[in-house]
């Protein structure tokens, strides 16, 4: 199989093929989207529950334009990044289309 990884949101090491780790799944999604090496994509999850996550992403060592925020939702039992970047967020869309709870969106994304 594979080796165990550290999952910060669960504050433990786990076998990703047995138990999900939202950071790793979002890291993989963004690495593929931006064609980056997985080790150059640094994810911090600030808020999460079983179906939603919000946080920040930093590519490489950072610097201007090298990071941003993300919102992810579990859709059909798979994590999907529904927003990433530094731009303004369509809060109505996040609430109505994806049913994001305010506990995930506030205060950093939608006030």
Residue 55 lies in a domain: yes
Query: Cα–Cα distance between 13 and 36 in angstroms, integer?
Result: 24
Residue 110 lies in a domain: no
At 16, is the pLDDT very low, low, confident or very high (cuts 50, 70, 90)? very low
Contact present, 27 and 6 (Cβ < 8 Å)? no
Per the structure, the count of domains in the chain is 1
Query: Cα–Cα distance between 92 and 66 in angstroms, integer?
Result: 27
pLDDT tens digits for range 38-66? 999 999 999 999 999 999 999 887 665 67
Can you give the residue range of the structural domain that contains 60?
Answer: 22-105
Q: What CATH number does the domain containing 55 carry?
A: 3.30.200
Model pTM? 0.81
């Amino acid at each position: 199989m594979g080796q165990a990884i550290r999952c910060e949101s669960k504050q433990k090491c786990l076998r990703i093929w047995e138990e999900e780790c939202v950071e790793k799944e979002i890291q993989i999604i963004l690495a593929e989207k931006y064609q980056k090496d997985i080790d150059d994509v640094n994810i911090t999850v600030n808020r999460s529950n079983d179906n939603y996550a919000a946080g920040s992403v930093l590519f490489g060592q950072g610097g201007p334009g090298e990071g941003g925020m993300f919102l992810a939702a579990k859709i059909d039992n798979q994590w999907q990044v529904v927003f990433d970047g530094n731009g303004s967020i369509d809060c109505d869309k996040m609430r109505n289309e994806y049913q994001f709870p305010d506990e995930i969106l506030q205060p950093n994304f939608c006030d």
